[in-house]
Structure 1
Amino acid sequence: MTEPHVPNPSLLAQPVGDPLGEILHLLKLTGTFYCQSRLSAPWGITIPGFPEVMSFAVVIGGHAWLRVGEDAPFEIRKGDLVLMTNSAPINLFSDPGAQLMTLEDLPIRKVTELYETVEFGGGGAACSIMYGLARLDHASSPMLMALLPDVLKIDPWEEDAGSWLQGTLQFIAREARELRPGGETVITRLADVVVIEAIRRWLIGSPDADRGWLKAARDPQIGRVIVAIHRDPAADWSVEALAQVAGMSRSAFAARFTSLVGTPAMQYLAEWRMNLARRRLRETALPIATIAADLGYQSEPAFNRAFKRVFGTTPGQARRTATLRESTPLP
């Protein structure tokens, strides 16, 4: 039995200028897989969806058509970046009438465990596309993924000439054409940055981003509470203590938090702890009892019950599943 962890009083005095920025400042991609393709019309590729995984395509040269799930296909051209978040299967093709081949049937050349190249097609108009799979590596990722649009398309050529995003995509295109020693490392690191930037642009510029958890994170009072929970998740928080962080009465705080976030404050705290726990189970070999104590649970059985209530499985089962998944590279 561990002693309850009292909330850190300094949290009440620490400034929070940009709650959403603080919440997302560690956003990064993990488990990333890239396939660099050089294609010639006619060609078509069908790619399955993967749970909890985003896919993205960057058009390096030429143009193609893209269909996500059962939606209507749309054209993508050089410089376009398309991010797909709903784990639906996708089809890429030179024209809507092209015959589709499954990913595993293509003449793929493995460069590294996480980087492959493929060249195929009928010898017509050329097209080059980088396709990738990635997971968002942040405890807030499930909440963010739930709010992102199914398809997010960025056209950097609409910006001023010389923008850094244009320049980055041009640099990726050059490396993809030449693939000099170490080129795959350069490409994958830059592609990570480009995908994160696409998400940031949506957060900043889309009216749809001002809702739910994201709207709550921007709220001066509720955003401050969310940051406090994130900074000190193991604290023995109560509704009264969180209301004090917000500078509100208990009843007004409870109503506003639930209205903006969509769940009561204590439920949000429990789910945040569980997201942190799932990440630590996946990324560390820490004993479950240690993870439980680090997140404010006074006994391992209490932690196990809370974890199963949120995810429907025990921490031990979740760790075994994550270990199996991480040991199997994305295709």
Structure 2
Amino acid sequence: MAELRPPVDALGEALHFLRMSGTFYCRSELTAPWGLDLPATEGSLMFHVVTTGQCWLEVDGVEPRLLQPGTFALVPHGAGHRLAHERGGPARKLEELSEELVSERYSILRHGGGGAPTTLICGAVRLDHPAARHLMSLLPGIILVEPSNSPRMDWLQSTLRFMAAEAQELRPGGETVITRLADVLVVQALREWMAQDTQAKSGWLGALQDPDVGRALALIHREPTRPWTVASLASSVAMSRSAFSARFTQRVGEPPMHYLARWRMYVAHSALKDERPGLGELATRMGYQSEAAFSRAFKRFMGVSPGAVRKTGSPTLRA
């Protein structure tokens, strides 16, 4: 009898790498006519929730979208964008407007001409894991989760109302609550997009959903320092070496060992930020015979030396 393999949720496991930290949150109380020009936030994503009124969201190269109460809008790439009461309307740069700083990471912005009101909750959320930035690079310029009559969406709307209430009152611990709610909402927005958009069925995201390639990816993600070979990965998914290598390369876009090496560099990057180990120790952990070989591989994949990451903890990474 063939061995029964339990199902693996490789895509769900990949979403665990979306370790986010709240960079800044703002409640915007706006009256028509108004427009906001928001700067780019490298290494971050931004979200907007309309609690009252409506507005237009404009990102260069993307069709403008109308946001209404209950809509959760995600701008995944950290791109600069505009919010305005009318499509194509003039917008003031955010840094030109005065804000009421409620705390170090939370403010209230009041702006506009005294007409029809719109209230927004906005957030800039930093992505801590390089794999999360890779995931974000695969997403469209805007992701919207619209209000719906679907029972699946009831809890989402409840979460949005909870976030709006916390932003209105900002009781002790309110920032922490909003940050955690933002984590949930971002992941849910990605799940909704993946369920509906054919783009999510191709490339790395599609590979994660492939029964065999997804299982191999999950094994690499769980145990990146294990001495994997193409043969051992193929055996783990009950495929021949040649068939597995061809299928993995076709679905993921790179050969298994190249992907493994790159993923190890993601893991090494996180270790350098969080643990600050010695480079020799980390090289050995990642399976390299010398610190020099590890450093060359790290710079080739990450675009920056491991020493720079260890020193600063927050370099600019290439996608």
Q: What's the TM-score, normalizing by structure 2?
A: 0.89
Shift of 1:277: 1.4
Contact 1:43/1:100 (8 A) holds in 2 = yes
The corresponding residue for 1:84 is 75
Identity %: 45
Return the alpha-carbon distance in structure 1 between the equivalents of residues 39 and 279 of structure 2: 34
Tell me which residue corresponds to 2:32: 41
Pairwise CA RMSD of aligned residues?
A: 2.4
Residue 316 (1) aligns with residue 307 (2) = yes
2:273 aligns to what? 282
CA distance in 2: counterparts of 1:312 and 1:236, whole angstroms: 24
- The alpha-carbon distance between structure 1 residues 258 and 90, as it changes in their structure 2 partners (threshold 3 A), is same
The equivalent residue for 2:182 is 191
SS at match of 2:107: strand
Alpha-carbon distance between aligned partners in 1 of 2:170 and 2:10, rounded to the nearest angstrom: 40
Q: Which runs of 5+ in 2 are unaligned?
A: none
Q: Which has the higher contact order (CA 8 A, sep 6+)?
A: 1
- Partners of 1:155 and 1:109 lie apart in 2 by 30
Selected match of 2:163 from 157, 172, 187:
172
C-alpha spacing 1:184/1:31, structure 2 compared with 1 (3 Å): closer
Matched AA of 2:189:
A
Write the distance in 2 (CA, Å) between the matches of 1:133 and 1:321: 21
Partner of 2:59: 68
Q: Give the drift of 1:235.
A: 1.7
Residue pair 1:28, 1:196 contacting (<8 A) in 2 also: no
Contact 1:66 1:74 in 2 (8 A): yes
Quote the Cα distance in structure 1 between the aligned partners of 2:315 and 2:268: 17
Residues 96, 282 of structure 1: CA spacing in aligned structure 2 closer, same or farther, 3 A cutoff?
same
Deviates more, 1:28-37 or 1:243-252: 28-37
Q: 1:268 aligns with which of 259, 274, 277?
A: 259
**CA separation in 2, counterparts of 1:96 and 1:22?**
39
Aligned length in residues: 314
Cα deviation, 1:16-74, whole Å, max 9, x if unaligned, reads: 43222233345331253211111111111111112232111111111111111254433
SS where residue 140 of structure 1 aligns? Answer: helix
1:143 aligns with 2:131: no
The yes-or-no answer on 1:27 pairing with 2:18 is: yes
Structure 1 residues 73 and 216: CA distance shift in structure 2, 3 A: closer
Which SS does the other structure have where 1:234 is aligned? coil
| Deviation for aligned residue 1:139 | 5.0
Q: 1:161 to 1:123 in 2, by over 3 A?
A: farther
> What is the correspondence of 1:281-300 to structure 2 with a 5 Å cutoff?
281-300=272-291
Residue 224 of structure 1 corresponds to 215
Aligned 8 A contact 1:278 1:318 in 2: yes
- Contact 1:46/1:92 (8 A) holds in 2: yes
| 2:47 counterpart (56, 59, 62) | 56
TM-score (norm 1): 0.86
Q: Please list every run of 5 or more consecutive structure 1 residues that lacks an aligned counterpart in the other structure.
A: 1-11, 326-331
Distance 2:154 2:66 in 1: 23
